[in-house]
Each structure stands twice: as C-alpha cells, then as structure tokens.
Structure 1
C-alpha cells in the first residue's frame, strides 16, 4: 500500500461503553493525531422496529402516532450515539477525518454490508463480552462480522469488567 494513501477505517458504534472504548483505542493506537490521511467512518446500525405489522398478537392495532414515536426514539438514540462518538474523535484531534453513517437493519448484516460496499481497510468493533449462554441466544455481532467480511477485523475488549459482573461481587 502506498504511504500517502489514506486508509478507510470502519468503526461500529452503539450505545454501549464497549464501542466507545474500541473507538478510543483505535484513535490512540491506529491514528496519527496530525497529518493523518486516514478516514474514520463511524457506523451505527439502527435495529428495525419490533413492530412488523400494524397489528400485534392481541389484535390491538398500533396507531401511526405510536409507531412514529418509536421511530423518533430510534432516531434520538442514533443521534446520541453519533454525538458521543464524534466528540471522542474531536477530543483526540481536530485533524482526524470523520464520516458518520446510520443504517437500518440487523447490526450483523449492516456492518458486513457497509464494510464490503465501502471497501474499508479495517473494521474496528468492541466486544460486549457476553457469556456462553447469552452469546448462544443472541449471537455475537463481532464473531459474525469477523467470519463474514474480507478486510481485517479488530475486536477491542474493554479491560474493565462489565458493570453487571462487577455488581455481583
């Protein structure tokens, strides 16, 4: 790869501390604070609404205002996540080129699809550190992406124990 060619680095972000830590780690270990030609692409996958039809199993018809408020909430979450992520980047350096993307869909599919479509050099993501049982039911987004994208994937684990695990001690 040519020295002067900037890299496109895709960073998957969500509401969790794990993704904020992964973004900070990426900035501190991958990016030059000055003269960097790299572009960080921050991606938030907005999960689809759980309401697939206007009627739920009890026969109750959801009003368009309820669906609209659920949609608005999803947009507010996306906005909060992006504000936090771009603030982390700005605190690191004003020189870093940052692009933001919000895509709708299952994070597993969205992250893989965007990584391939944009032909990024790296995919960086946090690890939620789910236990075996939870991972079996929920599936690991990071494992799925690591197996399905063609670029190198960096899964950053937060060295601090998850708050839930710490609370049990």
Structure 2
C-alpha cells in the first residue's frame, strides 16, 4: 500500500464498509474536512474479513468450490462498497482525488497499518454506537484505531433517528 506523499498534499483515510454509519462518516468527511483546494487526497479503505469456510472435505480441508465462492463473494462485497462510496464522493464533491484500497484481515489491524503505509494525516471512521455489552464482546474498531494510529482520528457518529 506504499504511496508517495508530496509535502503539500493532505491525506485523509476513510474506512468504509457495508454499514450506514461508515457512509455517514464519509459524507461528513466530505462536507466538513475538505478545504477548497486541490492538494487533498482521499483514500477509501475497505477491509474484507478473513473468510470462514463452511464446508470441509473428507480430508479435513476446505472444499475448493466453497473457497472460490467465498473469495468471489468477498470481491463482490468490496466492489459494491467501493462503488457506493465513490458515488457519495461524486455527489458531494467532484474535485476530490480518490484512491480506493482493499485490505483483508482484522479491520482494526488493517486500518492502522494502512494509516502508516499511506502516511495519512487524518483517519475518519464511523461509529456503530454499540452498547457496553456488545462493545465488550465485539470490541470497538474506532476506539482501537484512535489509540494506535499516530495521526488524529475523527470518529463520526450517525445521528439517531426517532
């Protein structure tokens, strides 16, 4: 994921996924963090989870048909999320330089590694706003990233609808 960084270029990394929260965070970022200048680059990062194989062959290995189907579905999800994010970018601000990146693995680890590799100046992530129990069981990607990256992190909460 290495990318050259010009001295005047501001680099903003937005983590996107299938959720409404991440699309809201992207929209918020586009509306609030982009100055009216051309030296900003927006990195959209989608992290594919490590695939879990559901059918095991008699020898104890994942079946090749299931591996291929799972990998194809992961590619489809990545393409779908990036297309949706790209559409939001074009709708809000058409002068933005956008680069799409896809990683695989544990989202919090991949996001932190991408911030470092891409030399991001700001990380923007959405917040699912889980309760204490769910956050304890699942962990919080935004909380982890804010503690482990060396750049400012903006955690965008989607307003609750009543």
Normalised by the size of structure 1, how large is the TM-score?
0.85
Q: Tell me the SS of whatever aligns to 2:158.
A: coil
Partner of 1:101: 101
Aligned to 2:34: 31
CA distance in 2, matches of 1:12, 1:37: 20
In structure 2, C-alpha distance between the alignment counterparts of 1:30 and 1:86, rounded to whole Å: 17
Provide the C-alpha distance between the structure 2 equivalents of 1:61 and 1:5, rounded to a whole number of angstroms.
Answer: 51
**Alignment match, 1:49:** 51
Query: Which whole-Å CA distance do the structure 2 matches of 1:153 and 1:115 have between them?
Result: 10
Q: Gaps spanning 5+ residues in structure 2: where?
A: 1-6
Q: Distance in 1 between matches of 2:119 and 2:93?
A: 25
Query: Partner of 1:11 in structure 2?
Result: 14
Check conservation: 2:30, 2:93, Cα contact below 8 A.
no
In the alignment, what sits opposite 1:154? 154
CA distance in 1 between partners of 2:37 and 2:112 (Å): 29
In 1, Cα distance between the equivalents of 2:72 and 2:13? 26
User: Which 5+ residue runs of structure 1 have no aligned equivalent?
Assistant: none
Q: What does residue 115 of structure 1 align with?
A: 115
What's the TM-score, normalizing by structure 2?
A: 0.89
State the 4+ residue runs in structure 1 displaced beyond 2 angstroms: 58-62
Q: Could you tell me which residue of structure 2 aligns to residue 137 of structure 1? A: 137
